[in-house]
């Protein structure tokens, strides 16, 4: 997976944070048995965000490999994405207590969407316009409107759940956007920074909403979270990835993946494990150590695929 701290190693213009994809059950328990220390909680959050971004990015890399008629590499990216989301993200989410009951999950989702629709994305659009990145400004404004609709839907669902009355909103339908290899479509550094934050936020929202859906008590709530998650990934993340030039050719994608996985296996997760052990968070320490081993294996597999391309 490619993480925030691996920025200098991984890409000149954008940070790529890779994480586990769809695979296995994505159900997390409502709360951890032993709440972690503040530092471990912070490390778990960084882990989840990195894994979510990895999952989303590896999916796009797999599609690019298919376009280059490299099915074995595509399968490698897809399998790794499954591990990142279905194992690494899910297990960190369980330790972090990410998932709660339907009402609390809806309330948290509504608050996040309100922030993005009223503050984050309008701010990004303003910065992009000032940097003469009109295409990015238009995209940010469009996403802000979408997030506003998501906030209203979550709010309506919350009122229905809490009152026990009314019908929950229907889930939105995603219009999937393809992301072929291509250069960045923005110029200003501030726009690039905004895109980086937006990409990580959309990937995390997708993974989080999938967790909420898997743990939902009400089937209609589960459908709402799954539909919204698909919009975050297949529309918002994909559109922003195209602007960012996130996808290169398969050789470049493998090179970024190797660098990210090595950083996580050799530096990030060992550091997290050491801190968790010192804080007495033995479950988290064991999880971080296991993740480090997994990421080392991913790095070797990606390097082998890269060598075979050569």
Cα→Cα distances 259→7, 122, 128, Å: 10, 33, 30
- Alpha-carbon distance of 262 to 199, in angstroms, equals 22
Task: State the DSSP string of 8-32.
Answer: HHH-SS--------S-S-----SS-
Same fold, 1-98+249-310 and 101-172+183-246: yes
pLDDT digits (tens, 9 = 90+) for 132-181: 999 999 999 999 999 999 999 999 999 999 999 989 999 999 999 999 99
Task: State the DSSP string of 130-177.
Answer: HTT-HHHHHHHHHHHHHHHHHHHHHHHHHHHHHHT-S-PPPPP-----
pTM attached to this predicted model: 0.89
130 φ/ψ sector (left φ>0, alpha ψ -120 to 50, else beta): alpha
Among the listed residues 204, 215, 194, the one whose alpha carbon sits nearest the alpha carbon of residue 113: 204
Q: Rg of the chain's alpha carbons, rounded to an integer?
A: 19
Specify the residue for token string 């003469």.
132
pLDDT digits (tens, 9 = 90+) for 46-69: 999 999 999 999 999 999 999 999
What does the pLDDT average to over 242-251? 98
Domain ranges (residues) in the chain: 1-98+249-310, 101-172+183-246
**Domain 1-98+249-310 CATH assignment equals 1.20.1260.10:** yes
Alpha helix positions (H), the chain: 7-10, 38-67, 71-83, 90-96, 102-115, 121-130, 134-163, 189-215, 219-231, 238-244, 250-263, 269-278, 282-309
Q: What is the CATH number of domain 101-172+183-246?
A: 1.20.1260.10
Confidence of residue 34 (pLDDT cuts 50, 70, 90): confident
Cα→Cα distances 272→7, 12, 93, 108, Å: 18, 26, 15, 26
């Amino acid at each position: 997976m490619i993480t925030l701290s691996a920025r200098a190693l991984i890409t000149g213009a954008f940070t790529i944070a890779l994480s586990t994809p769809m695979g296995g059950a994505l159900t997390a328990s409502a709360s951890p048995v032993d709440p972690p220390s503040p530092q471990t909680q912070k490390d778990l959050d960084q882990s989840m965000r990195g894994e979510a971004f990895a999952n989303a990015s590896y999916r796009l890399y797999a599609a690019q490999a298919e376009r280059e008629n490299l099915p074995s590499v595509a399968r490698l990216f897809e399998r790794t994405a499954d591990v990142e989301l279905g194992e690494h993200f899910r297990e960190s989410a369980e330790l972090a207590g990410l998932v709660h009951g339907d009402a609390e999950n809806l309330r948290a989702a509504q608050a996040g969407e309100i922030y993005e629709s009223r503050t984050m994305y309008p701010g990004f659009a303003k910065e992009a316009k000032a940097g003469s990145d009109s295409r990015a400004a238009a995209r940010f404004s469009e996403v802000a409107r979408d997030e506003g609709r998501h906030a209203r839907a979550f709010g309506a669902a919350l009122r229905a759940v809490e009152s026990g009355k009314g019908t929950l909103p229907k889930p939105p339908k995603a219009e999937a956007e393809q992301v072929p290899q291509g250069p960045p479509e923005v110029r200003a550094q501030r726009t690039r920074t905004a895109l980086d934050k937006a990409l990580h936020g959309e990937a995390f929202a997708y993974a989080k909403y999938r967790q909420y859906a898997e743990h939902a008590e009400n089937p209609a709530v589960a459908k709402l979270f799954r539909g919204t998650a698909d919009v975050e990934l297949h529309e918002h993340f994909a559109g922003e990835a195209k602007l960012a030039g996130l996808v290169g050719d398969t050789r470049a994608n493998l090179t970024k993946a190797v660098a990210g996985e090595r950083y996580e296996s050799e530096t990030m997760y060992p550091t997290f494990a050491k801190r968790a052990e010192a804080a007495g968070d033995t479950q988290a320490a064991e999880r971080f150590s296991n993740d480090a081993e997994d990421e080392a294996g991913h790095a070797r597999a990606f390097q082998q695929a890269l060598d075979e391309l050569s």
